[in-house]
């Protein structure tokens, strides 16, 4: 999925952010080479028996980007665009994200390149199990731990955990984001959206904005977008627009999130929620709202629409929603972009809490989870703001510098360099 305007692939785009930080930090070429590349990439065939009894083969990937700071960690997505390059990009982002929020993991990501709309529940289960089985020889509770991402959820993690356990002996710590009944952590489901809104609260306060004066548009109403909408509204922000793959809805006075959730439950989409106006996903991105939160797929803000963005601030809840050339346009226009490796890091932070609970065979209360999440998010937010202000750079550059510095230090201490 190359960005049209720049022709940079997602991995090239993320690597460009790394190189910019490496330049600013004056990293040696040997360090650069190690940190820019991926440690291990595997591609597996996942044969699938379809509804009509026929067979088809899809491909799955697991990319382990860097493990200097701890076991590889990252979600797995099922999507037709999840090719090797996209999975590499997402694995690299995990390395920088885990370093920025200071959880003791490296970075990895997985993907199965399939259109999830073509799968029945039975096929999704068989595919999840087969994928886990095919990659299981490179993962482990202290080697590489999976989690949900686009089109995967707690149920997917339950199947994967079960499949891994059949071969290797049961260990809940092999995946995070699993159902609470199977050792999942309280608060993991909401964690990415909650972390996003923790950042929103801090950023709004830094701008001197009162929540009731802040309108918010959110693209994507899955795990991340729906929790972000709910929690933003609970905090008094005016959520004026949300969308999903089928389209968007708008209400200038603020959406009734209960009504949106009901519509989602009953129809599988937010579209046509009573009392709202229809908008397209393209319109949502350029909507006149104070804050735009992309919470769906990557590369939705590009050079072709960045000059039409009306929001004063963008919180990247999705991974890599802004292409590098769009990033430059937004910076020139004075629009604050809070980067993905900060904004959506709440998910992996609570995954870390889940993993430690599993290893210690102990359970935390939801309050403890949320308090600790806040501690990690607030520390990362402050570090990013302070460095950006001190060195007069964008928040993405600041976040990458902090992360790259930490990973480079770990790699050196381990003797990789």
Question: Does 319 engage in binding with ligand AKG (CB under 6 A)?
Answer: yes
Report how far residue 109's alpha carbon sits from residue 94's, in angstroms, rounded to the nearest whole number.
Answer: 7
Q: Which does 176 bind (CB under 5 to 8 A by kind): ligand AKG, ligand NAI, none?
A: ligand AKG
In angstroms, what CA-CA distances link 297 with 87, 157, 169, 191, 220?
Answer: 13, 21, 35, 18, 8
Smallest gap, in angstroms, from Cβ of residue 344 to ligand NAI? 4
H/E segment holding residue 244: strand 238-244
* Termini Cα distance of the chain: 33
97 is in an annotated binding site: yes
| Stretch of 35-43, 262-270, 346-354, 373-381 lying at the interface with ligand AKG (CB under 6 A) | 346-354
The beta strand positions in 269-369, using DSSP E, are 277-279, 291-294, 313-315, 336-338
Q: Has 109 been annotated as catalytic?
A: yes
C-alpha–C-alpha distance, residues 384 and 203, integer Å: 12
| Distance of alpha carbon 90 from alpha carbon 237, whole angstroms | 30
Binding window for ligand NAI (CB under 6 A); candidates: 229-237, 316-324, 377-385, 397-405: 316-324
Touching ligand NAI, residues 13-72 (CB under 6 A):
none
Is 67 or 321 the residue whose CB approaches ligand NAI more closely? 321
Binding at 244: pick from ligand AKG, ligand NAI, none (beta carbon under 5-8 Å per type): ligand NAI
Choose the catalytic residue: 7, 28, 109, 412: 109
Tell which positions 64-83 bind ligand AKG, by CB under 6 A: 73-75
Contact 316, 294 (CB under 8 A): yes
CA distance 372 to 368: 6
Binds 150: which of ligand AKG, ligand NAI, none (CB < 5-8 Å by kind): ligand NAI
Instruction: Count the Cβ atoms, other than its own, within 10 Å of residue 313.
Output: 21
Alpha-carbon 289 to chain mean position: 23
Contact 376, 102 (CB under 8 A): yes
Q: In the range 206-265, which residues lie near ligand AKG by CB under 6 A?
A: none
- The residues in 173-202 that bind ligand AKG, with binding defined as CB under 6 A, are 176-177
- Find the angle CA(76)-CA(322)-CA(112) to the nearest 5 degrees: 20
Q: Residue 318 interacts with ligand AKG (CB under 6 A)?
A: no
Picking from 413, 415, 407, the residue whose alpha carbon sits closest to that of residue 32 is 407
> Does 220 engage in binding with ligand NAI (CB under 6 A)?
yes
Q: Which of 323, 347, 354, 358 binds ligand NAI (CB under 6 A)?
A: 347
Asked if 62 is part of the footprint of ligand AKG (rule: CB under 6 A), the reply reads no
Q: Out of 222, 298, 321, 347, name the contact with ligand AKG by CB under 6 A.
A: 347
Residues with a catalytic annotation lie at 109
Report the interface residues with ligand AKG, using CB under 6 A: 73-75, 97, 147, 149, 176-177, 319, 344, 347-348, 351
Residues in binding site for substrate: 73, 97, 351
The residue ranges that bind ligand NAI (CB under 6 A) are 148-151, 192, 219-225, 243-245, 281, 295-297, 317-319, 344, 347
């Amino acid at each position: 999925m190359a960005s049209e305007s720049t022709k940079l692939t997602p991995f090239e785009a993320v690597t460009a952010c790394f190189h910019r930080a490496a330049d600013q930090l004056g990293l040696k070429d040997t360090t650069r080479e190690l940190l820019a590349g991926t440690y291990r990439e595997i591609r597996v065939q996942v044969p699938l028996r379809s509804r009509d009894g026929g067979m088809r083969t899809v491909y799955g990937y697991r990319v382990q980007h860097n493990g200097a700071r701890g076991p590889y960690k990252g979600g797995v997505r099922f999507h037709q665009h999840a090719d090797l390059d996209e999975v590499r990009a997402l694995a690299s982002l995990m390395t920088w994200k885990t370093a920025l929020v200071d959880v003791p993991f490296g970075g990895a990501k997985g993907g199965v390149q399939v259109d999830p709309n073509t799968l029945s529940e039975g096929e999704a289960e068989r595919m999840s199990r087969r994928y886990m089985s095919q990659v299981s020889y490179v993962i482990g509770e202290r080697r590489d731990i999976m989690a949900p991402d686009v089109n995967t959820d707690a149920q997917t993690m339950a199947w994967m955990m079960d499949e891994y356990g059949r071969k290797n002996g049961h260990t809940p710590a092999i995946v995070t984001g699993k159902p609470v009944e199977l050792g999942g952590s309280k608060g993991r489901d909401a964690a990415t959206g909650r972390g996003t809104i923790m950042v929103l609260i801090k950023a709004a306060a830094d701008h001197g904005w009162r929540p009731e004066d802040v309108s918010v548009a959110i693209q994507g109403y899955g795990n991340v977008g729906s929790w972000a909408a709910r929690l933003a509204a609970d905090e008094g922000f005016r959520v004026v627009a949300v969308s999903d793959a089928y389209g968007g809805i708008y209400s200038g006075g603020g959406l009734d999130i209960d009504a949106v959730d009901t519509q989602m439950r009953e129809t599988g989409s937010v579209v046509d929620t009573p009392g709202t106006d229809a908008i397209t996903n393209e319109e949502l991105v350029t909507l006149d709202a104070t804050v735009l939160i992309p919470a769906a797929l990557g590369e939705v803000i590009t050079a072709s629409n960045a000059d039409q963005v009306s929001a004063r601030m963008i919180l990247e809840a999705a991974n890599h929603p802004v292409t590098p050339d769009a990033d430059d346009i937004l910076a020139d226009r004075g629009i604050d972009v809070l980067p993905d490796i900060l904004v959506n890091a709440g998910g992996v932070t609570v995954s870390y809490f889940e993993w430690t609970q599993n290893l210690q065979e102990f359970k935390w209360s939801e309050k403890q989870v949320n308090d600790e999440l806040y501690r990690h998010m607030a520390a990362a937010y402050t570090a990013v703001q302070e460095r950006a202000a001190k060195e007069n750079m964008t928040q993405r550059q600041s976040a990458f510098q902090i992360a790259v510095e930490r990973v480079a230090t770990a790699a050196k201490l381990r003797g990789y360099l």
